[in-house]
Amino acid sequence: MLLRSTFRRLLLAGGALAALHPAGVRAQAVNYGALEELFGQAVTTSVTGKPQLASQVPGDLVIITQDDIRRSGADNIPDILQFVTGIDVRKFSFGDTQIAIRGYNTPIDPRLLVMVDGRQVYLDDYGYVAWNMIPVQLDEIRQIEVIKGPASALFGFNAAAGVINIITYDPLLDKVNTATVRGGTQGYGAGDGVATVHFGSTLGVRVSLGGWTATGYPTQSGAPDPERPRYDSFNFSGRWQAASNILVRFEAGTTDGQTAREITAGSSVDTQNRVDFLRLGAASDTPIGLIDADVYENHAVNDYGADGPFINDTNRVLVAKLSDLLKLNPTNTIRLGLEFRRNSLTFENGSNALAYNNYAANGMWDWQITPTIDLNNAVRIDHLELSDSGPVEVTPGRTRAIYNATTITAPSFNSGLVIKVSDKDTVRLTVARGLQVPSLFSFGIQIVIPPVEAIVGSPSVVPVAVWNAELAYDRNLDWLGGKLTTAVFFQRNTDLLAAGEDGPAVIQNGTAVLTEANIGSSNEIGLEAGLNGKTEGGFRWNASYRYETIKDDIAASFSANDDPSTHFQDGTPVHAIILGAGYSIGRWEMDAQGRWQSSYDDWAKGAAGIYPVVVGNYVTLNARIGFRVTKYLTVSGTAQQFNNSRLLETDGDYVDRRFFASANVKF
């Protein structure tokens, strides 16, 4: 029986790998589980499109597995990511968290592309990720892939500083049936469920739903959170093996939530977001390669200022992609692709209606020069055409004709050389140019804040270009049961975006105008080093250190009171240390993680204007204890920030200590 089971797994793994060969290509779902069991490490298809071991990827990749997610004790994705080296996590309120890769964090982060199974969940109106709105339950996640550094040529739109791709279990190959309930401090209650149904061997469907509610953290004044944060989500995903060479994918879902959210430096508003999506895709083998087509639409309705409307908008994103993956011979694989994106934004008050069409072409070439040397090159060209069908702008010099004549054409690239020096040593050299495309608000927002200020977009802004060069070295330490990972990198950012004063221009009643503009450049030097491992006795551990230093070169006309969140050299912690340990024995699991980071400057807004707030260095400690009651039932308790009853991580609300218990049933 064991031999037959092993043989079957090898066949499944071989079938996934065979999808790379022109002879006998099969459009089949990649069996991650079989490949991981076969090779003893995580597998990804995100970077090149073909199954690869994580250690072979031509980039800086971290994979967080389902086991890691469970042992973290976290109930949301940001709390998992805060213990990944190189990631900066900031909590502004109970439901509002922003995440950056390698610094440059702001109240909204337009530099990071976040996806679920390759579908963007980044919101294009302001240009940020609403982490409390991610449409996925933790139990249905197979792995979270974190790619550090620009990856626009590989992933496209706004992968300027990095990519987080959340990979769920395959409805056709995996069967996940589980339910979880949680409850704890801050008036917190949550529940979710995941169910998978297989119809024969060719059709699989997964349904998930979940939600949570809480009283939230108190404000800095000690008052209760005025907006009780909440989240509700329902998702449907299916895979149909229509033929041995045709795989059809279909997904749909809706997510609704509310929380206090920081939009600009020192300005927090109560927000309500609802996002619906629909997706259809198919892959088929042909004489010219494995062709994949993917179409999806995200429809987001956003209310910023629920207790007194600040601005309401509707954002629609339509993306259609077509790619061809072809293995020319045993050492050369190419991928060619086309992408169309329609991004539109309308405001409830009818002030204006913005949109753009973006046309992109991309190519990737993976060359296995020798069995131990691999070279990967990717290029992409984006052409954006802006349009405005709303009324004439509120500021001089901005007419509908100017918007409708605006175009941007910009290239991006990624190049990576992976050298397997020995069975234990790997060296990676990567260079890249990524793009941060201006959000639709940056292009054309019109907000009047009586009686002193107005914020307007500009059709003349251009994408931020992020240049990055990195040298990484990894070594397996068998004697320690672990692995050493190191990386040094240099990054240059040009044409940084921010809202600055528009010279003497004013609108009615002498209101000053802040205009979106490209304000200058910035350079960063960084170092990351980490150790992790586990013993046969069930003990696991990790330790890492991160160093980042940034030097800004901002235009003299951009004053400190314009958009201070873009003062990156003072607003990024220079040092961070992460330590963790865990132990499994019998039915018990015990894990703890700690993070220390150095101080940085944040910004608050008072009666006299915007002023700096020093966020001091701090330590946060999390722990989980889990007990497997039966084969099907596991209970656990989680303590977050148990070393400190109250902590200020930003200029926003205090972060309070949390305790909650969970019960998970598999069926």
d(CA 386, CA 313): 18
Please report the pLDDT score of residue 19 as a whole number. Answer: 39
Please report the pLDDT score of residue 223 as a whole number. Answer: 66
Sorted by sequence, the CB contacts under 8 Å of residue 602 that are 6+ apart come out as: 265, 571, 612, 613, 614, 615, 650, 651
User: Measured on CA atoms in the order 30, 32, 38, 40, is the torsion positive or negative?
Assistant: positive
Instruction: Report pTM.
Output: 0.90
Calculate the alpha carbon distances from 562 to 90, 100, 127, 645 in Å: 22, 22, 19, 34
d(CA 395, CA 261): 28
CB of 580 closer than 8 Å to CB of 71: no
CA angle, 79 then 81 then 87, to 5°: 125
Residue 107 corresponds to which tokens in the numbers above?
Answer: 């109240």
Q: Which residues in the chain show pLDDT less than 50?
A: 1-26, 306-309, 502-504, 560-561
Locate tokens 């080093």: which residue? Answer: 529
Give the CATH number of domain 2-666.
2.40.170.20
What dihedral do alpha carbons 147, 151, 156, 158 form, nearest 10°? 80
**DSSP of 149-188:** S--HHHH-TT-SSEEEEEEEPPTTT----EEEEEEETTTE
Please report the pLDDT score of residue 599 as a whole number. Answer: 95
Q: Which amino acid type is present at position 78?
A: P
CA angle, 329 then 330 then 332, to 5°: 60
Phi-psi region of 573 (alpha: psi -120 to 50; beta: other; left: phi over 0): beta
Rg (CA), the chain: 24
Please report the pLDDT score of residue 11 as a whole number. Answer: 36
Residue 90 corresponds to which tokens in the numbers above?
Answer: 């900031």
Please report the pLDDT score of residue 107 as a whole number. Answer: 76
Per-domain residue ranges for the chain?
2-666
Locate tokens 């995580």: which residue? Answer: 42
Please report the pLDDT score of residue 598 as a whole number. Answer: 96
CA angle, 276 then 339 then 409, to 5°: 115
Q: What is the pLDDT of residues 333-354, one digit of tens each?
A: 999 999 999 999 887 655 568 8
d(CA 257, CA 270): 11
Nearest alpha carbon to residue 321 among 120, 167, 495, 462: 120
Please report the pLDDT score of residue 75 as a whole number. Answer: 95
d(CA 433, CA 239): 35
